[in-house]
């Protein structure tokens, strides 16, 4: 899995004018219509709509893998039933809701902070960075960002922290689901490369099996050295070499 930050974004097109832009059918004059770029019409429409995005993260506690965040702007005209804290949903239900959110939301963006960034910045600041990337990556500009938890990243729009927002605010619930499904998929894929750690079972969390694997095999390149159990394993095994990686695989 690459250390590079991956950002994916989708916006559902909304048509309300001659050329698909909200307000495009109501120019004051022909000259004014020509003078205002398409982006200006989209921005004015977003402000008028008072768009709100929900933001959440997954992966602050695990010993391995990136921290993944998502920002979602839901479409009030296309409600999604069953949104809730991703941790309270079955994997099958999360997958189904993931597809609905991608299809029905006005806009969404999934972003992350890498293991290297977590070790360099610490997990809190890496999480704030990933949240900034998710919100700034939205192709629609929200006027308000609702952040799960008790702390907000620095954003160019108004932001409010909502404790337990992933279980009470639908847009935050949707962000939680997108982030959870994305990160789980990444760690399951990582299991194919490093099966000895059991990433497909614990997705990087410090379960007894995971801690035992660290003691037996040492850390992989995807483990967070700034987390105590991994740091201790590095002290015992030292840096991972190409030859050792070959023996582990």
Q: Report the C-alpha gap between 33 and 154 in whole angstroms.
A: 35
Return the residue matching tokens 């159990």: 229
Answer yes or no: are the C-beta atoms of 209 and 198 closer than 8 Å.
yes
Element containing residue 78 per DSSP (H, E): none
75 is in an annotated binding site: no
Does residue 56 have a known ligand-binding role? yes
Give whole-number Cα distances, 118 to 61, 124, 166, in Å: 11, 8, 23
Judge whether 148 is annotated as a binding position: yes
Rg (CA), the chain: 21
Cα gap 241→220, rounded to integer Å: 10
Q: Is 198 left (phi over 0), alpha (psi -120 to 50) or beta?
A: left
> At 11, phi and psi to the nearest 5?
-135, 135
The residues, ordered by sequence, that sit 6+ positions from 48 with a Cβ below 8 Å of its Cβ are none
Known binding residues are 56-57, 148
Known binding residues for a divalent metal cation are 56-57, 148
């Amino acid at each position: 899995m690459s250390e590079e930050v991956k950002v994916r974004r989708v916006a559902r097109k909304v048509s309300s004018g001659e050329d698909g832009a909200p307000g495009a059918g109501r120019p004051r004059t022909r000259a004014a219509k020509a003078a205002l770029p398409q982006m200006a019409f989209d921005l004015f429409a977003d402000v008028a709509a008072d768009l709100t995005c929900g933001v959440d993260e997954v992966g602050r506690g695990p010993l391995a893998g990136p921290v993944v965040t998502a920002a979602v702007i839901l479409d009030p005209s296309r409600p999604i039933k069953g949104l809730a804290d991703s941790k309270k949903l079955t994997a099958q239900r999360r997958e189904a809701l993931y597809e609905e959110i991608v299809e029905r939301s006005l806009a969404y963006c999934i972003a992350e902070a890498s293991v290297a960034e977590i070790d360099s910045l610490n997990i809190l600041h890496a999480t704030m960075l990933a949240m900034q990337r998710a919100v700034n990556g939205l192709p629609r500009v929200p006027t308000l960002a609702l952040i799960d938890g008790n702390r907000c990243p620095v954003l160019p729009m108004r932001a409010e922290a909502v404790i337990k927002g992933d279980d009470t605010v639908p847009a935050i619930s949707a962000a939680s689901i997108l982030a959870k499904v994305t990160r789980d998929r990444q760690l399951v894929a990582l299991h194919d490369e490093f099966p000895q750690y059991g990433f497909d079972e614990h997705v990087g969390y410090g379960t007894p099996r995971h801690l035992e694997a660290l003691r037996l095999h040492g850390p992989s390149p995807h483990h967070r050295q700034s987390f105590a159990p991994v740091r201790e394993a590095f002290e015992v095994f030292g840096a991972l070499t190409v030859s050792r990686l070959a023996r582990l695989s």
